[in-house]
Amino acid sequence: MNTGAVILAAGHRSSITSFQPMLPIGKTTAIRRIIITLQRAGVGPIVVITGDQGEDVEKHISKMRVICLRNEEYASSQMFDSICMGLNYIEDLCDRVLIMPVKVPMLLSETIENIMKSTAPAACPVYNGKRGHPVMLTTEWIPRLLAYRGEFGLRSFLREPEIYRELEELQVKDQGIIIAVETDEDCKKVMESPSHRRIPIHGRASLFIEGDESFFGPEIAHFLELIDHTGSMQTACRQMHMSYTKGWKLIKTAEQNLGYPMLFTQSGGAEGGFSQLTPKTKEFLNRFLAMERELTDIVDQMFDKYFID
């Protein structure tokens, strides 16, 4: 089962003055720590909903192979609106989705992995009797949530009798699911706490395919994924904070090495322009992504072999 995630980092109305996504957590930031934690657990795709200081946040995480959506109405909307934006986008890209705010960056990858073992249509972790983040829903439940009009959004949705009966509460030992990091003072407390945990050191490998030159790797793979999701090369370039010229250079280099066109494009017109992957490109990309996933598993095993102590 493919599990994706929606991270809420739009900065909705709040009395808190610090900007949560960029708060420092050790040598990283709240948003980067959450993304690393999710990716280590094998979660993907990851959609990040930005808003306040959206340009800075998106640039900050542009190399992390996530999808950024901008909620331009963040100041006048509720968090539930950002949730719905993310779910509308990710609904057809995975089987289940984890929903979590950026203010809870201290949870562990092992906790995510345990949540993903649940076979219930909805699940959430519980620490010492208190529910925490993230909530996991099957995509079959997304239309029900999108149509929900309760006062408190996701929280009240999960308390609806017919929903609550099918919700699995998973008891965990990870206090990180309920630790909110919302201010500079919270960051200081977290770093001074004896229970503070850095992200464990781990191995990471990048896959590149080459002939006379290296022409296909993580950057173009993510670029093609975004084009496939959005139908727009310009949108993909914007999300990756990459120039349109560089995007075309990546495509042309791959085409020269593979010997076939990567994209079918149409410019302007009454219905607007669009880009889509050719069938051969889609097949090549899927093989690359499958090889990447297998390589990640192998690297984890090798890391344990050589660095277990």
pLDDT at 198: 76
Interatomic CA distance for residues 123 and 136, integer angstroms:
5
User: In this structure, are residues 193 and 254 in contact, taking their beta carbons and an 8 Å threshold?
Assistant: no
DSSP letter at 128 equals T
Interatomic CA distance for residues 246 and 252, integer angstroms:
10
User: In this structure, are residues 67 and 48 in contact, taking their beta carbons and an 8 Å threshold?
Assistant: yes
Do 131 and 97 have their domain in common? yes
pLDDT at 134: 95
pLDDT at 196: 65
User: In this structure, are residues 38 and 98 in contact, taking their beta carbons and an 8 Å threshold?
Assistant: yes
Report if residue 53 sits inside a domain.
yes
Number of domains in the chain: 2
pLDDT at 15: 44
pLDDT at 159: 86
Do 43 and 130 have their domain in common? yes
Do 166 and 235 have their domain in common? no
Residue 8: which of 59, 65, 56, 52 has the closest Cα?
Answer: 52
pLDDT at 120: 93
Boundaries of domain holding 78: 3-192
Strand ranges (E), 238-279: 263-266, 274-277
CATH code: domain of residue 297: 1.10.10.10
Report if residue 199 sits inside a domain.
no
Do 231 and 143 have their domain in common? no
Report if residue 202 sits inside a domain.
no
DSSP letter at 220 equals H
User: In this structure, are residues 9 and 49 in contact, taking their beta carbons and an 8 Å threshold?
Assistant: yes
Final residue of a domain: which of 192, 224, 242?
192
Low-confidence residues of the chain: pLDDT under 70: 12-18, 194-196, 268-273
Do 151 and 41 have their domain in common? yes
pLDDT at 274: 81
CATH code: domain of residue 165: 3.90.550.10
User: In this structure, are residues 233 and 244 in contact, taking their beta carbons and an 8 Å threshold?
Assistant: yes
Final residue of a domain: which of 192, 221, 243?
192
Long-range Cβ pairs for the range 228-235 (8 Å, 24+): 228/276, 228/277, 228/282, 228/285, 229/45, 229/67, 229/89, 229/93, 231/274, 231/275, 231/276, 232/273, 232/274, 232/275, 233/263, 233/265, 233/275
pLDDT at 195: 61
Do 221 and 183 have their domain in common? no
Report if residue 201 sits inside a domain.
no
Do 177 and 42 have their domain in common? yes
Report if residue 85 sits inside a domain.
yes
Do 47 and 175 have their domain in common? yes
pTM of the model: 0.89
Report if residue 203 sits inside a domain.
no
